[in-house]
């Protein structure tokens, strides 16, 4: 489930949605970091800023899912996608997987808007990634026949570590992590009712 044995080309062909999401993350990061582009304007126009969302700029609930504040932020989230997402894209197929990813991220950003102050600024795909983790949690707990016991144990351990780290770094949007995970768990419950 988590070990990747495909070549680069096989990975792209086998997991087109995951690949597209990773490419979008990379493109947005390049737009924000390469000095040729008006990167400050792009960041100011697309980052999740609760005050601007309150003033009607609702696209800021979606666009932060594809933006990252640093290379390490981008790397960790893309690495998580490479490892966690392929099995879910296969299990759910393209449309349901894409819905899980985007809806988890949007739900996480809406929760951030509701529970964080108006001055709060947020970027990153971790709310969406925690949605994948929440979905995997559900499988590990309630649908053990779909995954091996060793993978189920690994999901629980990785998920718990991710949650613990969420509370140890003040830069982390804990609200988005918890909301994304909750959405993924509930979505899995709906699919496997």
Q: What is the pLDDT along the chain (193 residues), one digit of tens a residue?
A: 566 788 889 999 999 999 999 999 999 999 888 877 677 888 889 999 999 999 999 999 999 999 999 999 999 999 999 989 999 999 999 999 999 999 999 999 999 999 999 999 999 999 999 999 999 999 999 998 888 888 888 888 888 888 888 888 888 999 999 999 999 999 999 999 8
- Tell me if residue 139 falls in helix, strand or coil: helix
CA–CA distance from 148 to each of 2, 36, 47, 85, 144 (Å)? 11, 48, 39, 17, 7
The answer to whether 72 is a known catalytic residue is: no
Continuous segment of H or E residues that includes residue 108: helix 71-115
Going from the C-alpha of 141 to that of each of 90, 138, 150, 189, the distances in angstroms are 20, 5, 12, 11
Our CA dihedral for 81, 83, 87, 88, rounded to 10 degrees, sits at -30
What are the backbone angles phi and psi of residue 122, rounded to the nearest 5°? -145, 140
Residue indicated by tokens 């490892």: 83
* Catalytic site includes residue 151: no
What is the pTM (predicted TM-score) of this model? 0.93
Residue 55 to residue 8: CA distance in whole angstroms: 43
- In the set 68, 126, 151, 166, the catalytic residue is 126
């Amino acid at each position: 489930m988590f070990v990747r044995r495909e070549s680069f080309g096989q990975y792209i062909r086998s997991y087109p949605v995951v690949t597209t999401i990773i490419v979008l993350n990379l493109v947005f990061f390049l737009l924000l970091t390469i000095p040729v582009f008006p990167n400050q304007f792009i960041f100011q126009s697309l980052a999740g800023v609760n005050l601007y969302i309150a003033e009607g700029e609702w696209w800021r609930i979606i666009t932060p899912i594809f933006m990252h504040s640093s290379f390490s932020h981008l790397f960790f989230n893309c690495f998580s996608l490479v490892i966690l997402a392929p099995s879910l894209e296969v299990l759910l197929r393209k449309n349901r997987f894409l819905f899980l990813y985007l809806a988890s991220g949007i739900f996480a950003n809406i929760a951030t808007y509701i529970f964080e102050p108006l001055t709060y600024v947020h970027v990153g795909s971790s709310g969406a990634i925690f949605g994948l983790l929440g979905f995997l949690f559900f499988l590990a707990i309630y649908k053990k026949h779909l995954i091996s016991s060793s993978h189920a144990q690994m999901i629980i351990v990785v998920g718990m570590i991710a949650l613990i780290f969420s509370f140890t770094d003040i830069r982390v949007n804990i609200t988005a992590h918890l909301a994304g995970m909750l959405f993924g768990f509930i979505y899995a419950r709906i699919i496997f009712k």
